[in-house]
Structure 1
Amino acid sequence: MSQKVVVIYSGGMDSFTVLNKALQQGLDVSALSFNYGQRHVKELDVAANVCKSLEIPHKIVDITAINSLLAGSSLTDDIDIPEGHYEQESMKSTVVPNRNMILLSLAIGYAVSENAQAVYYGAHSGDHAIYPDCRPEFVRQMNVVSKLANYDPVEVVAPYLDVDKNAILADGLKMGLDYSNTWTCYNGRDKACGKCGACIERLEAFAANEQSDPLSYE
């Protein structure tokens, strides 16, 4: 009997690769997505379509009510999305306070109720500088807390924690994944902007792998 896991699946490149990696490893996968009021809610439609095509269980949970507690992020408030690379100070406005701890806590609870042994999510080394809740020490401590919080221990797994998006894409291409089935841009418009940190990092990853991005850009 294969191990049962919950994958936090946003619809973006990283979680798309994690989702498929778990499936190709023969794990019994349930996908979990969150609507937390992100302006790029389009990613949830992409996630739903992928899960439908893969014929795997998928829940989209509306947690927009917590937005009144999490002010100050350009991803959820009426603040312009900054343009430029993640290394720039301005990109800190895209941090949603405590987001991954909240999402992981909910996912762990879901895993316990589903008798799943682990929760997977797509933190990677490119996020370490800008997002505190993607850093190795956070993942390690969250894993410790998760195993203490319930009678049945649930492991927190970030398969790409120590590599960057270039390596994630390389692994996904090796698996034969189609990245037209992902959404990365922080602006939820018809086409990707190509200017926000998420778009720039995505385009750099495709360039590093000598591939063309299948998404359309403004």
Structure 2
Amino acid sequence: MKAIIVCSGGLDSVTLAYKVAVEAEITSLVSFNYGQRHDKELNYAALCAKDLNVPHHVVDISHVGAQLTGSALTDDIDVPDGHYAEDSMKVTVVPNRNAIMLTIAYGMAASQNADTVAIAVHGGDHFIYPDCRPDFIEQFAKMQKMAMDGYADVSIYAPFLHGTKGDIVTAGTAINVPYKNTWSCYKGGDKHCGRCGTCVERAEAFYDAGVTDPTDYADSDFWQNAVKQRAEAEA
């Protein structure tokens, strides 16, 4: 396998990069500037590429992102606090984001003579992000096979698709992924806020995996209350 990794600089995609580095060959890491409210995570993607000694490309699609309005990740809309399982988190959806990024990554893979595009979507994303679900990944792969018929044979690799974020932390810890060098928070402050959906999910993942969380949260207690409220709602 020769793979190009879609890497945001977050916990999931950095784990994926280190996993592929153990299993196969990485041609490059690709990150996207889609006009997100901060680009802090891109610095962590660059750090990952440097540590793995592979090229890192940042593709600027901010002009495209400017047309994908209505998301708290791109517009002047407050990022909600709470767990991803809450309906309020749907405001963090950027329409068709993964489909757009994957399409570009497939083209880059063909150009780099890579045979695989790797992406770190996982089971915890399924509730609010349609382009992270198994059906989407399966159908997208079929579409791309048709789009590149006779030119390139590129597959998609999504090893975390049916797992949890806790599973990702477990797998990453086994191969010494430096989680301190990853960024998840949607708010982009000096520290992880500890309150937004991705911070709550991050903290919960380390807890579920039984691994010490190296993250410095501005609010280190909020996630526990958010998880408790979710459990009570599901009871």
- TM-score range (shorter-chain normalised) is over 0.9
CA contact (8 A) 1:125 1:161 kept: yes
Which residue does the alignment assign to 1:191?
Answer: 191
Q: SS where residue 69 of structure 1 aligns? A: coil
Larger mean Cα displacement after TM superposition, 87-96 or 53-62: 53-62
What SS class does the counterpart of residue 76 from structure 1 fall into? coil
In our comparison, the structure showing a higher alpha carbon Rg is 2
Task: List runs of 5+ in structure 2 lacking aligned partners.
Answer: 219-235
Shift of 1:53: 2.1
The equivalent of 2:2 in structure 1 is 4
Q: Please give the alpha-carbon distance, in whole angstroms, between the structure 2 residues aligned to 1:105 and 1:78.
A: 27
Q: Do the aligned partners of 1:193 and 1:199 also contact (CA within 8 Å) in 2?
A: yes
Give distance in 1, aligned partners of 2:137 and 2:29: 19
**CA deviation vs aligned residue, 1:87-128 (integer Å, no higher than 9, x gap):** 111100000000000000000010111111010001101101
Q: Which residue of 2 aligns with 1:162?
A: 162
Deviation at 1:72, TM superposition (A): 0.3
Report the equivalent of 1:172.
Answer: 172
2:133 and 2:144 map into 1 onto residues whose CA distance is: 16
| CA distance in 2: counterparts of 1:40 and 1:192, whole angstroms | 13
Deviation for aligned residue 1:54? 1.8
What are the Cα deviations for residues 116-161 of structure 1, in whole angstroms up to 9, with x where unaligned?
Answer: 1010001101101110000000000011011111121211121100
Q: Which residue of 2 aligns with 1:145?
A: 143
Q: Is residue 35–residue 66 contact of structure 2 (8 Å, CA) maintained in 1?
A: no
Count how many residue pairs are aligned between Structure 1 and Structure 2. 216
What TM-score does the superposition give when structure 2 sets the normalisation length? 0.90
The separation in 2 between residues aligned to 1:184 and 1:142, in whole angstroms, is: 26
User: Aligned equivalents of 1:148 and 1:4: distance in 2?
Assistant: 20
Shift of 1:40: 3.5
Q: Percent identity?
A: 49
1:90 counterpart letter in structure 2: S
Distance 2:133 2:24 in 1: 27
The answer as to 2:39 corresponding to 1:41 is: yes
- Which residue does the alignment assign to 1:104? 102
Cα distance in 2 for partners of 1:72, 1:28 equals 35
- Counterpart code for 1:87: A
Structure 1 unmatched runs, 5+: none
Residue type matched to 2:177 in 1?
A: L
Q: Give the alignment's Cα RMSD to 1 decimal.
A: 1.0
Which residue of structure 2 lines up, in the alignment, with residue 59 of structure 1?
Answer: 57
Distance in structure 2 (CA, Å) of the matches to 1:121 and 1:53? 19
1:21 and 1:211 mapped to 2: Cα distance?
Answer: 18
Give the ranges of 4+ consecutive aligned residues of structure 1 lying more than 3 Å apart after TM superposition.
Answer: none
Alignment partners' CA distance in 1, 2:124 and 2:141: 20
Q: Could you tell me whether the CA contact under 8 Å between 1:6 and 1:107 is conserved in 2?
A: yes
Q: Tell me if structure 1 keeps the 8 A contact 2:21–2:52.
A: no
Q: Does 1:13 align with 2:15?
A: no
Q: Taking structure 1 as reference, are residues 28 and 68 closer, same or farther at Cα in structure 2, changes over 3 Å only?
A: closer
